Amino acid sequence: MEKVRLRAIEPEDLDLLYTIENDVSLWNVGTTNVPYSRYTLHDYIAHANDDIYSDRQVRLIIENDKGELVGIADVVNFDPQHMRAELGIVIQSAYRCQGYATAAIEEMLHYSLRVLHLHQVYVIVDEQNKIAKNMFNKLAFKESARLTHWLFDGHNYHDAILMQRIL
């Protein structure tokens, strides 16, 4: 399995963040539907507290063992009352299907349990994304709900699957 390191976002990561946040092909799997300016993203990097209790999220850069920027992983929608949060991950296209996503999610699970003390994490996956569903199944996520017409790709609505893992 590939080895990855998760680290805080640095100002030098602005180009990666800009590329990922403005990748229109990713908009149908998340909640973003407008482009972000470099200024907005620079401001985000500068002012993020890296404190899940104040920001309600933590975003981390994924690096491989060569120090290459593979992608971004995050814990979002943090609910401190119920100690749960949503996991998200984006792997740059050049690094997909090489084991980096699995390695990064395993690191995120460890971080979520040992550092953030979460009780559960969940992901929302397009039902047609077989690769993601298989990966999360292998990582002991269980399908718990179907979200009808949850995602819109600009032309069609897609059902999504809510997958949970109790830590």
Span 80-123, pLDDT tens digits: 999 999 999 999 999 999 999 999 999 999 999 999 999 999 99
Instruction: Give the residues across from 63 on adjacent strands.
Output: 5, 69
Cβ-Cβ contacts under 8 Å for 44 (sequence gap 6 or more): 17
What pTM was estimated for this model as a whole?
0.89
Distances (CA, A) of 101 to 21, 79, 93, 152: 18, 24, 11, 24
Return the closest-CA partner of residue 29 out of 164, 154, 118.
154
Cβ-Cβ contacts under 8 Å for 95 (sequence gap 6 or more): 64, 68, 70, 71
pLDDT of residue 167: 93
User: Tens of pLDDT along 25-76?
Assistant: 666 666 566 677 877 787 777 777 777 888 899 999 999 999 999 999 999 9
Top pLDDT among 152 and 145 is at 145
Cβ-Cβ contacts under 8 Å for 143 (sequence gap 6 or more): 133, 137, 161, 162, 163
Rounded to whole angstroms, the Cα distance separating 107 from 155 reads 35
Top pLDDT among 31 and 78 is at 78
pLDDT of residue 28: 61
